[in-house]
Chains A and B, each alone.
Chain A
Amino acid sequence: MAARYDRAITVFSPDGHLFQVEYAQEAVKKGSTAVGIRGKDIVVLGVEKKSVAKLQEERTVRKICALDEHVCMAFAGLTADARIVINRARVECQSHRLTVEDPVTVEYITRYIATLKQRYTQSNGRRPFGISALIVGFDYDGTPRLYQTDPSGTYHAWKSNAIGRSAKTVREFLEKNYTEEAIATDNDAIKLAIKALLEVVQSGGKNIELAVIRRSQPLKILESKEIETLVAEIEKEKEEEAEKKKQKKAT
C-alpha cells in the first residue's frame, strides 16, 4: 500500500499519511543526537560528535550554528539540507533586522524555518528537508526560549528536548531529571545537558560538543577542556551518590 503513495510528495495516502514526510522523519532518527535545555539565564545545546576519520580535520563540520547573535540552532539529520535551511534563516534574521529594526524573536525565526519546511512538503518535484532543528536563544525582553521543528513543518516550544538517534532515551532521562532545582544555576543547566548526552554517547566527554548562550551574550562553544572538567565533576558526583547509597544500605 505504502509503495504506491510515496512517489510524489503531493499525494496523500488513503489513510491520510504523507509518506515522504514520515520517511524524512526516519532520516532524522538516523542522525546523531542533539539535546537542548532551557535554563533561567542560559540556554544550552549539546550534540553528539561523530567520530572523524584519521586524516579529516575536525573543525570543518559544525552541528551547532549561530543564526544571529542571540539565536543558534542544532540539527539532526541530513547535513546538506541543514546547510540550506541555516543559510536561509541567517538571511532572514538580517532581513528582519533591516526592515523592522529589531532582532528576530526566537519564535519568529522558528516560524520562518517551519514555514520553509512546510512549503517543501506541498510543492511539486521537491522532497522535504530531512532535518529536525532545535532552536534556542533569548528574545529582546530577555526571555529564554527553546523550540523544536520537524520535517513536516510543525514547531513547538519546549523546556528541554532531544532529537536524533537516541532521542527517546534522552527525552526520558530529561523528563525524570529536569526540575527547577536541576537548572537553578547556569552550571547546573550545562551539567544536565552533559548528563543527558552521556546516557547515549559512547566514549564520554570526547564525543560531546556543547554550546551555550547567556542573556545578552553571544553564542559560546565550550572547549573540550571545559567539557572534560565538567564530565569529571559529574563522574565525581555520581561516585559520591553511589557511596552515600552504599552507606545507607549498610546502616
Chain B
Amino acid sequence: MGFGNKADTSPEKGTDPRRSSEMALLDICRHQDWKAILTPFGAQNFSVSCGSEVTCDEFKVPVGVDPSKFMNRFSEKDGKLKLQFNHGTTTLAFKFQHGVIVAVDSRCTAGKYIDTQYFKKVIEINPYLLGTMSGSAADCVYWERVLAQHCRIYKLRNKEQITVSAASKLLSNMLAGYRGMGLSIGSMICGWDKKGPGLYYVDENGTRLSGNMFSTGSGHSYAYGVMDSGHRYDLTVPEAYDLAQRAIYHATHRDAYSGGTVNMYHVKQDGWIKVSQEDVGKLYQKYLKERQ
C-alpha cells in the first residue's frame, strides 16, 4: 500500500492538509477498514440526504449486524424460516369533489393475539395533513412522527405549510434508505394544500403513488370491493361518509386482523375534521336492520 497504489481522483488532492495527513496515517497503519475501528463501536452510518435543508436522520447500526443480509435469510423462497410481514389492518382513503375521506380500523394484533381494539392508526401531522398507518405499529408510529417533525421544521423555515407531495416524498425517501432492512409500513399521506386535495400511498419499499383511491392492509381487497362499487367523484358528503364506513366495516367483518372501531376523517380546504368513531359491532346491527 504505497503512495503509487492509490488512485486518487479527488480534485482536492494535495491541497487539503487534513487529507494528506490522513493518507499518511493510513500508510503507516496499513489497515483496510480503519474507519470501522476508529468510529465508536465500529458503528456504520446510514444516512439519507435529500438536499440541504431537507436532510434526514442518520441511523447508527451496530457493527456485526447488517440488516439487509439478516433479512435475506428470512425472505428466501425455499428457506426453512420465512417471516411474512403482513400489514394487519385495513385503511382506506379516497378523493371526491368535497375533499378526501380517510377511514381506518383500530385493531392491533401480534400474531394470533389481539393487542388492543382501540389503536389510533391515523396520525394528525398538522391541521391540514393526515397520515395513516398499516403494517408494523412500531415502525409506523416512529417514522410518521419523524415525518411530523420534518413538516413542522419545514413550516418554521419556509413560513408556509408543507405540500402533501413534499411530505410524502420526505417519508418515501426516508424509508428508501432502509430498504431491505425489514421495515413494514404502508401509509397514506392525505391533505389539502395550495395545489388542492392530495393523496399519496407510501410503503416500505420506497413506493410512492399519487391517486384518487387507495386501501392498504390485510383487509384491503374487501375494502376495494365496496369502494369500487360505490365510488363516484360527485358523491355528496353524507354518501361519502357512508361509503367509507361501509368499506371498512365489510373488511373488518371478513378479515381476522381488522376490527375494533371505524375512525373516519374528512380533509377539507380549511383542514381536516374527525367525522366519527363507530364501533364495528354497532355498525353490524345498523346494516342488519337496513337489510330487513
Interface size range on A against B: 10 to 19
Q: Judge whether B166 and A100 touch: CB under 8 Å.
A: yes
Q: Is A140 an interface residue (CB 8 A)?
A: yes
- Given A101-B169, A102-B163, A96-B158 contact (CB < 8 Å): no
Q: Judge whether B52 and A115 touch: CB under 8 Å.
A: yes
Q: Is B173 an interface residue (CB 8 A)?
A: yes
Q: Mark each residue of chain A from 176 to 190: 1 if its CB lies under 8 Å from any CB of chain B, else 0.
A: 000000000000000
Q: Is A105 an interface residue (CB 8 A)?
A: yes
Give chain B nearest CB distance to A102 CB in angstroms. Answer: 6
Give chain A nearest CB distance to B189 CB in angstroms. Answer: 12
Q: Judge whether A99 and B170 touch: CB under 8 Å.
A: yes
CA distance A57 to B278 in the complex (A): 76
Chain A, Cβ-Cβ closest to B49: A95
Residues of chain B within 8 A of A95, CB atoms compared: 50-52
Q: Which of B158, B170, B173, B194 has the most chain A CB atoms inside 10 A of its CB? A: B158
Q: Mark each residue of chain B from 155 to 192: 1 if its CB lies under 8 Å from any CB of chain A, else 0.
A: 00110001101100110010000000000000000000
Q: Is B114 an interface residue (CB 8 A)?
A: no
Q: Judge whether A99 and B158 touch: CB under 8 Å.
A: no
Q: Is A108 an interface residue (CB 8 A)?
A: yes
Q: Is B54 an interface residue (CB 8 A)?
A: yes
Residues of chain A within 8 A of B51, CB atoms compared: 92, 95-96, 98-99
Q: Is A5 an interface residue (CB 8 A)?
A: no
CA distance A42 to B166 in the complex (A): 28
Residues of chain A within 8 A of B163, CB atoms compared: 100-102
Q: Judge whether B54 and A100 touch: CB under 8 Å.
A: yes
Q: Which of A101, A107, A108, A111 contacts B166 (CB 8 A)?
A: A101
Within 8 A of B (CB), among A104-145: 105, 107-108, 111-112, 115, 125, 140-141
CA distance A79 to B170 in the complex (A): 36
Give chain A nearest CB distance to B170 CB in angstroms. Answer: 7
Residues of chain A within 8 A of B165, CB atoms compared: 100-102
CA distance A230 to B242 in the complex (A): 66
CA distance A103 to B101 in the complex (A): 29
Q: Judge whether A112 and B50 touch: CB under 8 Å.
A: no
Chain A, Cβ-Cβ closest to B154: A100
Give chain B nearest CB distance to A155 CB in angstroms. Answer: 14
Q: Judge whether B54 and A99 touch: CB under 8 Å.
A: yes
Q: Judge whether A105 and B169 touch: CB under 8 Å.
A: no
Q: Judge whether B169 and A100 touch: CB under 8 Å.
A: yes
CA distance A98 to B173 in the complex (A): 11
Q: Which of A95, A112, A115 has the most chain B CB atoms inside 10 A of its CB? A: A95
Chain A, Cβ-Cβ closest to B55: A99
Chain B, Cβ-Cβ closest to A99: B50
Give chain A nearest CB distance to B157 CB in angstroms. Answer: 8
CA distance A92 to B52 in the complex (A): 7
Residues of chain A within 8 A of B17, CB atoms compared: 125
15 A-B Cβ contacts within 8 A? A92-B51, A92-B52, A98-B50, A98-B51, A99-B50, A99-B54, A99-B170, A100-B163, A100-B165, A101-B169, A102-B163, A105-B158, A107-B158, A115-B52, A140-B194
Residues of B near any A CB (own CB < 8 A): 17, 50-54, 157-158, 162-163, 165-166, 169-170, 173, 194
